[in-house]
């Protein structure tokens, strides 16, 4: 038929609920939630209306007349056809905290809240900021600002009392403050001290998950949470990630604590020897939720195996596997040793080359250094010939002592080596002088025309020449000891050696 509207499934469900609702009777008892602390009560109801879940009700409790919210009804034929039995409600309370659960049966449901009741409650709540401001001023006047901190104030619909919630580290004597507040508002004043979690229940709104805080939405018993639960369930212990709005560990860590504990018992511990489909290996790490174990088998890379596909070895099996691994390691070491020719051969030490002599820098230093080297080598050869009777000794030449470098201080070993060389040079100079004297004497006797005056003159000249030569050597030795500082030109050194 054109122009007809086909009802949607949701509309059919609403129509079915409406028909069921018409056949229901008014409930006899109603479960309501009331107050800033989200208290729960099962109260009697004798009205003719048939309220549904979430309806606002005017109730009378031990605190006074206030607004509450209907949760459900406990009779089998009442409410919005989704009522629960009393046994189910008591089981829920027992599982949610037992005796610590804030549940009471003292009170009565007066009526379903009207628009006037809701407007009156809204007017009272609108005056809360001024009341809080006045209360903080009185707290400061009584010098209690450092001992307590005001969190919120709750106003009841009937006006029987005003409830102030505060936090404090220790007990606070606020008797004078209560008297001043009672005189200001002409009503009964009650003070409630809160802890960190109870403060979050009143003041907090949303959590990291995007939902309302559990303590504010449904959690009534705020039990402490241990760090063990955080270590088991979280990969990190960053306080920003495991702390709630109250600054304590998040309450939701308790929800899955039992599940995590049961799953963890099924996993092997780290460094446990297990048997997999690829062989025997050692457990490196595990994952609780996925039930996987990271196992390293032989020389292969670690791989993840489901906990159902691995078997933990017994103690005797583990010992046999360890012995087998040790034998394989010894056999491998023997093969490596045989390939290398047996024995541990150390690589030859690198050959250290002597640094090349540094070139002189100006003023004939290079030539003087070359002359010094020539003199030292000739002196060493003369000393060697004198020791061996004038014959050169076969074999490699003796190592020459290390020479001091120009501009660097002389070390003790260099001073000692130079003293030995100097003593040798003095002996060689004495031998050369004696030989020259003998030759000059022979020459004087063989000269027919020579006279005694000429011989005396030649002897004086030879002595002066020897003194000049030895004086040049002493000057060179002093320059070497000073590290090359103050050396004269190479030409003068050459003349002194001639």
128 lies in some domain? yes
Q: Domain limits at 82?
A: 9-113
In terms of C-beta density within 10 A (0-12 exposed, 13-18 middle, 19 or more buried), how is residue 372 classed? buried
Residues 103 and 150 in one domain: no
Residues 13 and 105 in one domain: yes
Q: What is the model's pLDDT at position 426?
A: 57
279 lies in some domain? yes
Residues 15 and 91 in one domain: yes
pTM, entire model: 0.54
Q: Is the dihedral of CA 45, 47, 50, 54 positive or negative?
A: negative
CATH of the domain at 156: 3.30.300.20
Residues 85 and 68 in one domain: yes
The structure tokens listed for 352 are: 């250290």
How many Cα atoms sit within 13 Å of 187 on the Cβ side?
Answer: 17
Residues 89 and 164 in one domain: no
In which element (H, E) is residue 331 found? Answer: helix 315-339
248 lies in some domain? no
**What is the distance, to the nearest Å, from the Cα of residue 402 to the centroid of all Cα atoms in its chain?**
54
The structure tokens listed for 341 are: 């020719």
Residues 181 and 160 in one domain: yes
Task: Select from 113, 147, 165 the last residue of a domain.
Answer: 113
The structure tokens listed for 342 are: 């047996």
Supply the DSSP string of 235-259, one letter for each residue.
Answer: S---HHHHB-TTSSB-GGGGTTHHH
- Span 96-142, pLDDT tens digits: 877 888 888 899 999 999 999 999 999 999 999 999 999 999 999 99
Q: Say which residues have a Cβ less than 8 Å from residue 236's Cβ, sequence separation at least 6.
A: 242
Q: What is the pairing mode between strands 39-44 and 161-168? A: unpaired
Residues 149 and 176 in one domain: yes
Reference 481, options 390, 416, 398; nearest CA is 416
Q: What is the model's pLDDT at position 456?
A: 47
Cα separation of 227 and 240, whole Å? 14
Task: Select from 178, 194, 210 the last residue of a domain.
Answer: 194
Q: What is the model's pLDDT at position 19?
A: 74
Residue 359 backbone phi and psi in degrees, to 5: -75, 145
Residues 99 and 16 in one domain: yes
Supply the DSSP string of 453-483, one letter for each residue.
Answer: HHHHHHHHHHHHHHHHHHHHHHHHHHHHHTT
265 lies in some domain? no
Residues 107 and 130 in one domain: no
52 lies in some domain? yes
Residues 55 and 136 in one domain: no
Each residue's pLDDT expressed in tens, for the chain with a length of 498 residues: 444 555 556 555 667 767 766 777 788 888 999 998 888 899 999 888 888 788 899 999 999 999 999 988 876 554 445 567 778 888 888 888 778 888 888 999 999 999 999 999 999 999 999 999 999 999 999 999 889 999 999 999 998 999 999 999 888 998 999 999 999 999 999 999 998 888 888 888 888 888 888 888 888 888 888 888 888 887 678 888 888 888 888 888 888 888 998 999 999 999 999 999 999 999 999 999 899 999 999 888 999 999 999 999 999 999 999 999 889 889 888 888 888 765 455 555 566 666 555 544 444 444 444 444 444 444 444 444 444 444 444 445 555 555 556 666 655 555 555 555 555 555 555 555 444 554 444 444 444 344 444 444 444 555 555 566 667 778 888 777 776 554 444 444 444 433
Task: Select from 78, 113, 148 the last residue of a domain.
Answer: 113
**Domains in the chain: how many in total?**
3
Strand extents, DSSP E, 86-196: 103-104, 108-112, 148-155, 161-168, 188-194
Strand extents, DSSP E, 343-417: none
Q: What is the model's pLDDT at position 58?
A: 94
Please give the radius of gyration of the chain, using alpha carbons only, rounded to the nearest integer. 54
108 lies in some domain? yes
- Span 16-63, pLDDT tens digits: 767 766 777 788 888 999 998 888 899 999 888 888 788 899 999 999
Query: Which DSSP letter does residue 398 get?
Result: P
Q: Say which residues have a Cβ less than 8 Å from residue 67's Cβ, sequence separation at least 6.
A: 34, 56, 57, 58, 59, 113, 117, 118, 121, 157
Cα separation of 356 and 359, whole Å? 9
33 lies in some domain? yes
Q: What is the model's pLDDT at position 69?
A: 92
Residues 148 and 188 in one domain: yes
**13 touches 36 (CB < 8 A):** no
242 lies in some domain? no
């Amino acid at each position: 038929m054109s122009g007809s509207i086909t009802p949607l499934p949701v509309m059919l469900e609403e129509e079915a609920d409406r028909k069921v609702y018409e056949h229901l009777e008014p409930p006899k008892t109603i479960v309501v939630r009331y107050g800033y602390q989200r208290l729960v009560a099962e109260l009697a109801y004798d009205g003719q209306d048939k309220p549904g879940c979430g309806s606002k009700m005017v109730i009378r409790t031990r605190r006074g007349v206030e607004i509450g919210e209907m949760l459900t009804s406990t009779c089998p034929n009442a409410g919005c056809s989704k009522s629960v039995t009393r046994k189910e409600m008591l089981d829920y309370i027992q599982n949610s905290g037992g005796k610590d659960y804030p549940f009471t049966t003292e009170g009565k449901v007066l009526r379903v809240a009207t628009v006037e009741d809701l407007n009156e409650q809204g007017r009272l709540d609108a005056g809360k900021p001024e009341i809080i401001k006045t209360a903080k001023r009185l707290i400061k006047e009584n010098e209690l600002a450092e001992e307590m901190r005001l969190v919120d104030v709750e106003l009841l619909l009937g006006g029987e009392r005003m409830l102030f919630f505060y936090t404090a580290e220790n007990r606070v004597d606020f008797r004078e403050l209560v008297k001043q507040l009672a005189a200001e508002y002409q009503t009964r004043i009650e003070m409630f001290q809160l802890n960190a979690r109870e403060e979050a229940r009143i003041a907090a709104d949303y959590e990291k998950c995007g939902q309302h805080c559990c303590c504010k939405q449904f959690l009534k018993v705020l039990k402490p949470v241990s760090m063990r639960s955080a270590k088991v369930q979280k990969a990190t212990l960053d306080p920003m990630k495991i702390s709630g709005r109250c600054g304590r560990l998040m309450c939701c860590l308790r929800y899955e604590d039992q599940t995590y504990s049961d799953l963890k018992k099924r996993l092997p511990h780290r460094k446990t020897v297990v048997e997999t489909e690829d062989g025997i290996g050692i457990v490196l790490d595990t994952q609780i939720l996925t039930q996987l174990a990271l196992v390293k088998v032989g020389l292969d890379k670690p791989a993840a195996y489901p906990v159902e596909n691995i078997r933990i070895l017994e103690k005797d099996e583990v010992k046999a596997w360890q012995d087998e691994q040790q034998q394989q390691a010894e056999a491998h070491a023997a093969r490596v040793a045989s390939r290398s020719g047996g024995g541990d051969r150390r690589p030859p030490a690198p050959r250290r080359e002597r640094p090349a002599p540094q070139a002189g820098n100006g003023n004939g230093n290079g030539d003087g250094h070359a002359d010094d080297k020539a003199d030292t080598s000739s002196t060493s050869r003369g000393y060697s010939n004198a020791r061996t009777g004038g014959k050169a000794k076969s074999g490699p030449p003796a190592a020459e002592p290390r020479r001091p470098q120009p501009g660097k201080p002389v070390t003790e070993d260099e001073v000692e080596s130079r003293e030995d060389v100097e003593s040798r040079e003095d002996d060689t100079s004495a031998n050369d002088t004696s030989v020259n004297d003998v030759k000059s004497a022979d020459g004087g006797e063989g000269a027919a025309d020579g006279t005694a005056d000429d011989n005396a003159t030649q002897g004086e000249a030879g002595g002066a020449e020897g003194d000049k030569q030895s004086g040049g050597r002493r000057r060179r030795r002093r320059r070497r000891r000073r590290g090359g500082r103050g050396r004269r030109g190479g030409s003068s050194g050459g003349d002194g050696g001639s």
